Amino acid sequence: MDISGEASPIHMRTDAHNLVSTASTTHLPEQKETIHMVQMLRKEACSGEMEDLGHVRTEHCLSDCLTKQGVKPDALIRAVETGILPEVDTNPMFRSKLQHRAY
């Protein structure tokens, strides 16, 4: 937004399938850190600040080479060079999975 003055849609991807599935339900996890993270994801998704949250299988997670030792950066380099992100939009939009309920 700093350069163009326009807000870009935020599409978040994670290899933590339980995080995505828990964020799309009304259930709360047991760990306090996860509860806070899920509540913030729900808030951002419902307010429209975050466009989408989706699960990416671990083998397609491009950030692993930045955070883990021994992971080759070939997929990340190829994605930056070509602009193609493999297997990132295989799930339905996150907000379409949220059910509107009275709490």
Q: Which two tokens stand for residue 65?
A: 């080479």
Q: Higher model confidence: residue 85 or residue 98? A: 85
pLDDT in tens, 5-39: 777 777 777 777 777 777 777 777 778 878 888 88
pLDDT at 43 over 70: yes
pLDDT, residue 102, reads 46
> 53 and 94 in contact (C-beta within 8 Å)?
yes
Using the predicted structure, report yes or no on whether residue 99 has a pLDDT greater than 80: no
- Closest-CA residue to 88 (of 50, 61, 49, 51): 61
Structure-token pair, residue 90 = 């295989």
63-76: pLDDT as tens digits: 888 888 888 888 88
Closest-CA residue to 20 (of 99, 100, 94):
94
Q: What is the pLDDT of residues 74-91, one digit of tens each?
A: 888 888 898 887 776 666
Q: Which amino acid is at 81?
A: E
- 77 secondary structure, DSSP code: H
- What does pTM read for this prediction? 0.56
Give residue 1's pLDDT.
Answer: 58
- Measured CA to CA, the distance from residue 58 to residue 36 in angstroms comes to 23
Q: Which residue has the higher pLDDT, 90 or 48?
A: 48
